[in-house]
């Protein structure tokens, strides 16, 4: 933990992403997902599960207005009810003053406004900003006088507020509200929502802490930990950092808060709790975080927590906390990571499974968990810029995160299996969580908005900065500006990542600038070359170039991208005798559209692999509406006999020589239903 | 469907099983399981889930006695309350007059008395018979005046009787009561329970039928269909056959009875049923049985139904019904059968999965379903003696059925996976249904008593008879007596099945006897030889020997038992690139005890298989307390590297030559916890 290397993400306003690859995704989010999300949270997407989100805010705002009209002091400065349509009728004719949906439904708004904030940072859009401002007005109008802001309890009664931290997600709502408010503030300079978020954070800060009479709890679903750090970073108010630390330090202490809380709830209901239903490990609350060394429980919650821990470790110089982060990181990467960058081996609890249990067909590998892993990775990079963190960040980002969204931005995967047979998904109830076609919107809508907020802010994962170093972690094509002292350096990156490892970074500067540019050398390349006339030091997979940069200077980076045929550690039972293919950051998969059905009958033809002209090759793939590459390789296909006896004496199968075609994993399921498999037998 | 070949099981009193193999199992049941069951159904097994069964009968009998003392007519002839201990105190201090346990808890008694009946048929045991008679007295005392006998409704009130055929198992209780009563009658000649069963059957027969005002339903859990046929066969009363046929014919007719019933229940509760929860396919009620061609739904229910259908087809000459049985049989055997003779690919609904979906680790393969498949197979044999039916019957019996019971008879498997990793069973909630150690007793105690009743009556699966033919389907060592006309022929079989295919059948007869002895030629042998001086005809895998049999005549049968290395149809995704080993009727498996952990790292060394002295071989296996064989074969084991990177470039693994040892599947999990796998990579 060497503070000299600590960094923070660059401001989005200093960046632009202009390449074909990421610009496509960002524009999809801007043009398709954000408007779609807005419709969704207003229950206007035909056929999709209603969100109820904005409706709940409206109900809560009405309640608050009535209360304020009776003489209360707190009136939001610019509260207006303009711009909100009449409540859409819904089939069940809900009564006006009820809360609908999940307890965390408020976060649908927070996630949307966060993506909006990022988008507006680079793409001014007065119409969108107007809608957003009005939505913010409504949300702020729902806030109670003392700052509380969760419509579930505002509508249902505040008596029970903060009595079920384990399940009722108030602190999760707080976390997302902060994330959204900060992003909107940074994107637009407007602080109304930020003030509301501060108000809610203050409300919580006043009520939580080690002092007697205060609540000794912490979030059931983590995110507030990292959000509060962000709020501290933007406001400079130490109480937010302290609250984050309190949540982190308190988690997993004995007696277990969630069990105690469950007992108290039972007692209030006049019951005695015999067997608590709490599984502390599900919430990463089975032991103090500094003692944890295995990633367990709900995968999204886990990586959100670890992200907050890393943030706190960086800002407080807490070495023990960083070491816990390192151990947990290593545990994930060495024992619980899919080759697609996904995490969460089991749908039971949407959780990490045990070490090396990485089933392909029943995988959970939630999109949000991969996103959380990206969060965690960037925070580890902020503390310790090591290529191994960026490698995993890139792997998650280019594969599972992007696979979560259709290429037209109109449908989404929550679960990202590595092997799919449509008949199995439809007929096997054990695979109920696995969809082979992306879905429009989920009642529990975390993944689509999470993709939106991450894609819109991807530049903040590509570049971080310290006072005198600009780090390039990902090779997005675009630019970033960085102030070194009084001077501004603009780093213009020409890249055709992820298809080509040749990158040219050109420096623009009105005046020569002294500083260090650090470039990551990806772990997947063996023969990296970096050409520059500046002083070079290498450290942990980063090349540090230090010197006096002049306008027109270039750094030429060459990261050859051989096709890699990978096997999993043989402890991964599911993958024994199988291989997966990657090239650069991209993991590939076989689809039925290219290879016919019954992908399990295919295997790699090892003998032909080494023959001249027969081995692995790449070819442009043009059917996905943007430039991609496909891989081809020599394969063998076992023929299907006539149906007959189920078991028969073994005979070496008379396999047919075929060419196996693989496409990028992120692009699967865009050509109609069909089988898919990342791992192929060898 | 050639009635000339129809047969019925021989009476157990005509048989003895004396060989090491089956006699061991039968004696285990007699000495261990039956006494244990009796303790279990009286809630006297420490640490086991209470059955509540006899307690419920006692409560019901008290209620009935009180009612009768108030002037009712029906008093069971020899009712006595002697012999029943005071109610054991239980931790929850249940009130005296309540029903406890599952709605079908009465069947714990019925299954027990059935095994007792079979056992007494060959092994007189006055003490056991006394206990049984007293238990029967109690059960009969619980019967209502009009014959109804299900303690759930007797105790809870008869108003709701027969209003939930789908779930409340009254007709299942009827079926098991009949099976138990018939077995006890046939084993002891005592008819008290048989009369009670007839009384309950009459009660149902009076209330079900096509006439208006009668109930048009049928069992939610099948078994009554075959039980009623058995009752018809023992009493000659056609109304029982007719009731069975009514249940069979009515099943799956539109409008669906279970949905209608569900709607009626809702209506009685003043509700309107929006979406029925009934899944007709789960109950095999999705279409009329004669139109069914795929085995679906709960596997035990399905094969119980098909058994009843086959019985009814045989007795009524109903060709369409037999054809449905044939189609369903073929569907199971060709698409849904494990190589262990197990059925039921999914724990969701304890059900058949879709065609070729036969996962090894998440298999359900319930012991009871394999037992039901044995029932179905014998009934198909009774109609059409074809070796292919007996092959499957034998496969189920020698593998999954026997695996259901520990070698000491003291613990049981409900679920019979083909691949087990203890850590996975313990840590993976998707495998919650899979135990890697046999359990003592189940609250839902179907499997242990089902093994008991089948093992005790196994001779009735070995031998069936028509007027002039005695069929030998299974080569148990022992004897069977058969009357041909006025003469009795005793067939004495010396067999070391399943380890040796050399069988000598010796005829004993005081006078020469004219008749036909039919011997099955197993499908797993290629070079069967049958030596006899009688006239020989071959038909469907049976050798028919006809002539004048004299005392001392012998038939010598030789069924060579090569080790067979089998592969599954490549449509079975789980087994691609893998093989399983069988020899004679026995399926083998690898256990950790012989091969170390990480069985997935093993594969068959194909090249060494063909080298002299290196190939497959058998060796005696003595650690299981009775004679068994192990197989050995040349294998390769992939080494486990140090833990490190989860994915790395593929290199041909440097496998170590090892000898793989396989033991009979039925004997697995008798040497402490460890991994097991039936299929091995090749």
- Condensed to tens digits (0 to 9), the pLDDT of residues B361-418 reads 999 999 999 999 999 999 999 999 999 999 999 999 999 999 999 999 989 999 999 9
Work out whether the CA dihedral B78, B84, B90, B94 comes out positive or negative. Answer: positive
Q: Which residues of B touch A341 (CB under 8 A)?
A: none
Tell me the shortest Cα–Cα distance from A629 to chain B, in angstroms: 21
CB interface of A with B, residues 646-665, below 8 Å: 646-653
pTM over 0.90: yes
Q: Does A439 touch chain B (CB under 8 A)?
A: no
Task: Pick the closest to residue B308 from B273, B337, B280, B284 (CA basis).
Answer: B284
pLDDT in tens, B615-638: 999 999 888 888 999 999 999 999
pLDDT in tens, B148-190: 999 999 999 999 999 999 999 999 999 999 999 999 999 999 9
Provide the pLDDT for residue A47. 79
Provide the pLDDT for residue A589. 98
pLDDT in tens, A472-526: 999 999 999 999 999 999 999 999 999 999 999 999 999 999 999 999 999 999 9
Q: Does A573 touch chain B (CB under 8 A)?
A: yes
CB interface of A with B, residues 389-428, below 8 Å: 421, 423-424, 427-428
Task: Pick the closest to residue A397 from A480, A475, A328, A298 (CA basis).
Answer: A475
pLDDT in tens, B219-258: 999 999 999 999 999 999 999 999 999 999 999 999 999 9
Strands (E), A448-521: 463-465, 469-472, 478-484, 487-495, 502-508, 513-520
Distance between CA atoms of A462 and A480, rounded to whole angstroms? 10
Best residue of B92, B297, B392, B646 to probe chain A, by most A CBs closer than 10 Å: B646
The closest CB to that of B346, out of A423, A429, A571, belongs to A429
The three-state (H, E, C) secondary structure of B318-352, written as one string: CHHHHHHHHHHHHHHHHHCECCCCCECCECCCCEC
Are A557 and A529 within 8 A, CB to CB? yes
Provide the pLDDT for residue A603. 97
pLDDT in tens, B303-333: 999 999 999 999 999 999 999 999 999 999 9
The mean pLDDT value for B27-32 works out to: 95
Please give the backbone phi and psi of residue A523, each rounded to the nearest 5 degrees, phi first. -70, -20
Between A50 and B35, name the one with better pLDDT. B35
Burial A581-613 (b: 16+ CB within 10 A, else e): bbbbbbbbbbbbbbbeebbbbbbbbeebbeeee
Are B144 and B158 within 8 A, CB to CB? yes
What percentage of chain B carries pLDDT values higher than 90? 85
Work out whether the CA dihedral A375, A379, A380, A381 comes out positive or negative. Answer: positive
Q: Does A601 touch chain B (CB under 8 A)?
A: yes
Residues A284/A287/A289/A293 CA torsion (nearest 10 deg): -90
Measure CA B47 to chain center: 26
pLDDT in tens, B555-565: 999 999 999 99
Provide the pLDDT for residue A67. 78
Provide the pLDDT for residue B71. 53
Mean pLDDT by 10 residues, chain A (682 residues): 92 95 95 93 85 93 79 36 33 61 93 96 96 97 95 92 94 98 97 97 97 96 98 96 98 96 93 91 98 97 98 97 98 98 94 96 96 98 98 98 94 95 89 88 77 96 97 98 96 97 98 97 96 97 98 98 97 97 98 97 95 90 90 97 95 96 98 97 96
Q: How confident is the model at residue B203 (pLDDT cuts 50, 70, 90)?
A: very high
Provide the pLDDT for residue A82. 25
3-state secondary structure of A238: helix
CB contact under 8 A, A579 and B640: no
Q: Which residues of A touch B600 (CB under 8 A)?
A: 570, 573, 576
Task: Pick the closest to residue A462 from A567, A374, A524 (CA basis).
Answer: A374
The closest CB to that of A646, out of B335, B424, B682, belongs to B335
Provide the pLDDT for residue B79. 25
What percentage of chain B carries pLDDT values higher than 70? 95
Provide the pLDDT for residue A71. 53
Provide the pLDDT for residue B429. 81
Task: Pick the closest to residue A682 from A587, A594, A586, A576 (CA basis).
Answer: A576
Distance between CA atoms of B665 and B583, rounded to whole angstroms? 11
Are B673 and B437 within 8 A, CB to CB? yes
Q: How many CB atoms lie within 10 A of CB A191?
A: 16
CB interface of B with A, residues 276-305, below 8 Å: none
H-helix or E-strand spanning residue A258: helix A257-268
Best residue of A425, A586, A596, A646 to probe chain B, by most B CBs closer than 10 Å: A646
Tell me the shortest Cα–Cα distance from A125 to chain B, in angstroms: 44
């Amino acid at each position: 933990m060497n503070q000299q290397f600590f960094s923070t993400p660059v401001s989005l306003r200093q960046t632009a992403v202009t390449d074909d690859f990421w610009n496509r995704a960002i524009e999809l989010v801007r043009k398709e997902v954000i408007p779609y999300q807005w419709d969704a949270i207003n229950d206007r997407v035909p056929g999709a599960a209603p969100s109820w989100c904005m409706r709940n805010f409206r109900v809560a705002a009405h309640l608050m207005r009535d209360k304020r009209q009776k003489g209360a002091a707190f009136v939001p400065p610019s509260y207006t009810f303009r711009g909100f349509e009449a409540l859409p009728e819904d089939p069940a004719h809900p009564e006006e003053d009820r809360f609908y949906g999940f307890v965390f439904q408020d976060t649908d708004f927070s996630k949307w406004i966060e993506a909006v904030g990022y988008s507006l940072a680079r793409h001014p859009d007065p119409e969108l900003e107007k809608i957003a401002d009005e939505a913010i007005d409504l949300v702020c109008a729902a806030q109670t006088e003392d700052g509380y802001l969760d419509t579930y309890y505002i509508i249902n009664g505040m008596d029970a507020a903060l009595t079920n931290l384990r399940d009722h997600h108030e602190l999760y709502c707080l976390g997302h509200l902060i994330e959204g408010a900060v992003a909107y503030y940074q994107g637009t300079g407007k602080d109304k929502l930020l003030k509301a978020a501060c108000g809610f954070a203050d409300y919580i800060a006043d009520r939580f802490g080690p002092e007697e009479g205060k609540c000794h709890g912490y979030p059931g679903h983590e995110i507030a930990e990292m959000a509060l750090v962000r709020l501290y970073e933007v406001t400079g108010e130490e109480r937010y950092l302290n609250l984050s630390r309190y949540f982190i330090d308190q988690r997993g202490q004995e007696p277990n808060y969630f069990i105690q809380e469950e007992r108290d709830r039972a007692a209030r209901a006049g019951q005695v709790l015999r067997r608590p239903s709490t599984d502390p490990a599900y919430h990463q609350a089975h032991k103090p975080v500094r003692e944890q060394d295995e990633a367990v429980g709900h995968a999204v919650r886990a990586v959100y927590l670890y992200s907050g821990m890393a943030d706190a470790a960086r800002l407080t110089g807490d070495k023990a906390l960083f070491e816990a982060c390192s151990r947990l990181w290593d545990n994930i990467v060495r024992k619980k990571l899919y080759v697609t960058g996904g995490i969460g081996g089991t749908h039971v609890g949407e959780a990490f499974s045990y070490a090396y249990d990485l089933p392909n067909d029943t995988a959970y590998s939630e999109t949000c968990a991969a996103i959380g892993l990206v969060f965690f990775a960037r925070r580890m990079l902020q503390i310790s810029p090591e290529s191994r963190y960026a490698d995993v960040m890139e792997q998650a980002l280019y594969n599972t995160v992007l696979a979560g969204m259709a290429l037209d931005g109109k449908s989404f995967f929550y679960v990202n299996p590595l092997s799919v047979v449509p008949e199995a998904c439809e007929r096997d109830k054990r695979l109920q969580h696995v969809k082979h076609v992306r879905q429009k919107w989920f009642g529990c809508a975390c993944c689509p908005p999470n993709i939106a907020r991450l894609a819109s802010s991807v530049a903040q994962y590509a570049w971080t900065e310290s006072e005198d170093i600009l780090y390039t972690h990902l090779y997005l094509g675009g630019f970033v500006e960085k102030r070194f002292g009084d001077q501004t350096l603009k780093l213009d990156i020409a890249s055709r990542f992820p298809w080509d490892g040749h990158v040219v970074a050109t420096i623009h500067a009105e005046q020569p600038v002294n500083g260090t540019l650090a470039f990551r050398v990806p772990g997947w390349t063996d023969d990296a070359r970096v050409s520059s006339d500046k002083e070079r030091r290498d450290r942990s997979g980063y090349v540090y170039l230090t010197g006096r940069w002049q306008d027109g200077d270039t750094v030429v980076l060459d990261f050859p991208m051989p096709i890699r045929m990978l096997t999993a550690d043989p402890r991964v039972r599911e993958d024994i005798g199988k291989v997966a293919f990657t090239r650069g950051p991209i993991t590939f998969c076989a689809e039925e559209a290219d290879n016919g059905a019954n992908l399990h009958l295919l295997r790699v033809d090892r003998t032909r692999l080494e023959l001249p002209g027969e081995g692995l090759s790449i070819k442009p793939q043009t059917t996905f509406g943007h430039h991609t590459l496909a891989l081809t390789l020599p394969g063998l296909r076992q023929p299907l006999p006539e149906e007959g006896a189920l078991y028969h004496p073994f005979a070496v199968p008379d396999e047919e020589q075929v060419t196996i075609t693989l496409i990028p994993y992120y692009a699967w399921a865009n050509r109609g239903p069909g089988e898919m498999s990342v791992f192929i037998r060898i």
